[in-house]
Amino acid sequence: MSSTTPSGTPTPDAEAATVRLTVGQALVRFLAHQHTERDGVTQRLFAGAFGIFGHGNVAGFGQGLLQAHVEAAESGVPVGETGPDELPYLLARNEQGMVHAAVGYARTKERLQTFACTASIGPGSTNMITGAALATIDRIPVLLLPSDVFANRLPDPVLQQLEHPGGPDVTVNDAFRPVSRYFDRIWRPEQLLSSAPAAMRVLTDPAETGAVTLCLPQDVQAEAYDWPVEFFRDRVWHVARPVPEPAALARAVAVIRSAKRPLVVAGGGVVYSEASEALRAFATATGIPVADTQAGKGAINWDHPLAVGGVGATGNDAANALAATADVVIGVGTRYTDFTTASHTAFRDPGVRFVNLNVAAFDAAKHSAEMLVADARAGLTALTEALAGHRTDEEYRAEVTRRVADWQEVTERCYHLGHGPLPAQTEIFGALNELMSDEDILINAAGSMPGDLQALWRARTPSQYHLEYGYSCMGYEIPAAMGAKLAAPDREVVAIVGDGTYQMLPQELATIVSERIKVIVVLLQNHGFASIGALSESRGSQRFGTRYQMRNPETGLLDGDDVPLDLVRNAESFGVDVLAVKSVEDFRAAFRTAVASDAATLIHVETDLQGPNPPGSSWWDVPVSEASTLPSTRTARAEYEAGRTAQRHYL
């Protein structure tokens, strides 16, 4: 029996009312009615659905998307607006890319809004696994809807079905389990009634969020059921700001008060919690310097008197010198990756202790810390209050000022090297830093860029610096820029990609063109892997296999001529405007042209493969072969063993 309006609004006899819809139709309607609320602002949880159709979803979830759209249009919803039961659909080009786009969107929205991603069964679905891992590692909410094999098993084995001889309920989608924070398979329609709300709870929980996966068998997607209309009522998920437990706060305060050389390490949690103001207030009041991680850069503006910049393996000398001698490290919203801890060599004071403020107990407990489980903003505000009157020594603060000033000189030099004949990429970053406005968004994930940016980028706002460095996934940048621009249409979104990254996942440029999304892509063309090439050389592997060269018939190796790949024409073929430059001055002009344009532009800039990169003072644990016939490897192994002696546990 159906007794609802098309929007799912309950009628007076709502208790008993049901509406007959397929699982695909029901899920679309359910998702359209989910909202988040934080600090009094309520918004839809799902801005839409990215998708690529195949036989697994075209007639199920896909039909649900279409029907909702047609019904909205028929009920008078104008073109370009979204009906109350509807999810706008965006056709992506690669399933991995569409998950990255959803992550880019959700991150720009501070995890309060996201996209659903629908994929066909088999390869369409497993293409999303890399994106799922990235989302879960980076703690960003995305809803993944991989299609799955028939629940009724009648036509088995269907196209693209894995047959596990000892387990007919095992499908390729089980590979999502370890990379999802919530995973379920909807074998029967009514399972959605409990599983869909459970999935929403995980998506909107700041401590648990990540990839949430609901596998949808293709026959079940098309199966009808009489749903209680209550299932489709507007729901609001209140995104919590847990406050610290008073006893835990007192313990944390006691440790901080005992410190002579405290240092804050600000991570992504500060940004997601919109705690920048609280962080600045904490630093200003206590005189405690603040270093940042890749996800936390910009949480404090670079020119705040107590901001010391990036810490760790790719950090700067100032932050690393302070880390090396800190007696109390206050980690706020950080998960302490090896880049932050320089593989457990950054914090060297023999008695160093940690106070970790984190919404996730899992992260708060790291390094035997005094745990302060709370929202970053609530926790920082409480700490500032409880520490009233407490301040670091003037001498320590003077040292901070001096070290930061020294590093800013290095930054200036790296920004204006005058390197030739091709520019160093640090000069391009200098130009970008100057040309981009405070609210514009810079996106990057992999290659030699993240290290340089972590050391050099002067982030003025928390939203300006969008580095995906949890999974450091080549190919994230272009689709993520698309997602970020959808989330922030009034800001310039600039994706920086290497030539290697570009070749891995350029396809969403086609989506960018078809959706008329104006992004700027800066392609740093250096004909190989500057990052892994330098790493290879430093670890004794002689840059083997890290340049794009033809196989040489004389040596049998990839050391022939440069591969005649033309990325300018390649990018043009997608329909984006392309500007090719070879100097910093021309780059500046090209960037201004790109900003002035309404269309997506890719700036192709030739840069020097060999850098130079900013000077590094830190260490990263990348094991070198213990036995080798190559002298370069043996030398590197000896250096590696020497480096390891600085590694320690924090027990």
> Which residues of this protein are in contact with ligand TPP, per CB under 6 A?
446-449, 472-475, 498-501, 526, 529-532
Q: Which helix (H) or strand (E) holds 62?
A: helix 61-74
How deeply is 236 buried, as exposed, middle or buried, from its count of CB atoms within 10 A (0-12, 13-18, 19+)?
middle
Whichever of 477 and 499 has its CB closer to Mg ion, that residue is: 499
Give 448 or 541: the residue with its C-beta nearer to Mg ion.
448
| H runs (alpha helix) in 241-327 | 246-257, 268-272, 276-286, 317-325
Under rule CB under 5 A, how many of the chain's residues touch Mg ion?
Answer: 4
Q: Which is nearer to Mg ion, 396 or 476 (CB)?
A: 476
Distances (CA, A) of 589 to 442, 499, 582, 596, 599: 18, 21, 12, 11, 16
Give the nearer residue to ligand TPP in terms of CB position, either 267 or 500.
500
Kind and range of the H or E run holding 524: strand 520-525
Cis peptide bond N-terminal to 157, omega within 30: yes
Minimum distance from residue 466 beta carbon to ligand TPP (Å): 17
* Distance in Å, CB of 499 to Mg ion, minimum: 4
- Does residue 421 have a cis bond before it (omega within 30 degrees)? yes
Helices 449-456 and 425-435, interaxial angle, to 10°?
Answer: 50
Binding-site partner at residue 449 among Mg ion, ligand TPP, none, CB < 5 to 8 Å by type: ligand TPP
Q: Site residues for Mg ion, window 511-530 (CB under 5 A)?
A: 526
Spell out a b/e string for 608-620, using b for 16 or more CB atoms within 10 Å of the CB, else e: bbebebbeeebbb
> Shortest gap between Cβ of 319 and Mg ion (angstroms)?
27
User: Could you tell me the two tokens for 129?
Assistant: 């696994």
Residue 432 C-beta: closest distance to Mg ion, Å = 17
The nearer residue to ligand TPP, 100 or 297, going by C-beta atoms, is 100
φ, ψ for residue 627, nearest 5 deg: -125, 135
Q: In angstroms, give the least distance from the CB of 173 to Mg ion.
A: 34
Reading the block at residue 450, the tokens are: 């993240």
Q: Where are the beta strands (DSSP E) in 437-490?
A: 441-444, 465-467
Q: From the list Mg ion, ligand TPP, none, pick the one residue 84 interacts with, judged by a Cβ distance below 5 to 8 Å according to partner type.
A: none
Question: 309 or 447, CB closer to ligand TPP?
Answer: 447
The partner in contact with residue 474, picked from Mg ion, ligand TPP, none with C-beta cut-offs of 5 to 8 angstroms by kind, is: ligand TPP
293 touches Mg ion (CB under 5 A): no
- Burial per residue of 109-143, b for 16 or more beta-carbon CB atoms within 10 angstroms, e otherwise: bbbbbbbbbbbbbbebbbbbbbbbbbbbbbbbbbb
User: CA 633 → CA 532, 547, 557, 618, 640, distances in Å?
Assistant: 16, 19, 19, 20, 10
Of residues 352 and 523, the one with the C-beta less far from Mg ion: 523
Question: Which listed option, Mg ion, ligand TPP, none, makes contact with residue 605 (CB within 5 to 8 Å by class)?
Answer: none
The item of Mg ion, ligand TPP, none sharing an interface with residue 501, based on CB under 5 to 8 Å by kind, is ligand TPP
Nearer to Mg ion, 468 or 499 (CB): 499
Say which entry of ligand TPP, Mg ion, none residue 531 contacts (CB below 5 to 8 A, set by partner kind).
ligand TPP
CB of 607 to Mg ion, least distance (A): 8
The helix, strand and coil proportions of the chain, stated in percent and rounded to the nearest 5, come to 40, 20, 45
Q: Which is nearer to ligand TPP, 87 or 567 (CB)?
A: 567
Shortest Cβ 503–ligand TPP spacing (Å):
8
Residue closest to Mg ion (Cβ): 498
Residue with smaller CB distance to ligand TPP, 57 or 526:
526
Place of tokens 């027990």: 651
- Kindly state the smallest distance separating residue 423's Cβ from Mg ion, in Å: 14
- The single-letter DSSP state of residue 18 is E
Q: Give me the residue whose beta carbon is nearest to ligand TPP.
A: 498
- Which of 179, 210, 243, 40 lies closest to 111, judged by CA? 210
In the complex, minimum distance from the CB of residue 607 to ligand TPP, in angstroms, rounded to a whole number: 8
Distances (CA, A) of 350 to 324, 328, 339, 347, 485: 10, 11, 20, 9, 46
Instruction: Please enumerate in sequence order all residues whose Cβ is within 8 A of that of 180, keeping only pairs 6 or more positions apart, or say none.
Output: 132, 136, 144, 210, 211, 212, 213
Length of the chain in residues, anyone? 651
- Residue 525 partner contact from ligand TPP, Mg ion, none using kind-dependent CB cut-offs of 5 to 8 Å: none
Output 72 or 449, the one with its CB closest to Mg ion: 449
Q: Is the peptide bond before 141 cis (omega within 30 degrees of 0)?
A: no
Cα separation, 114 vs 357, whole angstroms: 26
Least distance between Mg ion and beta carbon 624 (Å): 23
CB of 530 to Mg ion, least distance (A): 5
Q: How far is the CB of 402 from ligand TPP (least distance, A)?
A: 32
Question: What track of x and - describes contact with Mg ion for positions 471 through 500 (by CB under 5 A)?
Answer: ---------------------------xxx
Pure H helices in 177-290: 192-203, 218-221, 246-257, 268-272, 276-286
* Cβ nearer to ligand TPP, comparing 372 with 603: 603
Beta carbon nearer to ligand TPP, 526 or 541: 526
Contacts of 348 (CB under 8 A, 6+ apart): 323, 324, 325, 646
Smallest gap from Cβ 504 to ligand TPP, in A, equals 6
Give dist(CA 455, CA 316) in Å, integer: 5
Which residue number, 332 or 522, has a Cβ lying nearer to ligand TPP? 522
Element (H, E) at 90: strand 89-91
Least distance from ligand TPP to the Cβ atom of residue 129, Å: 12
Q: From Mg ion, ligand TPP, none, which one binds at residue 333 (CB under 5 to 8 Å depending on kind)? A: none
> Using CA atoms, how far apart are residues 149 and 159, in angstroms rounded to an integer?
9
The residues that touch Mg ion, with contacts defined as CB under 5 A, are 498-500, 526
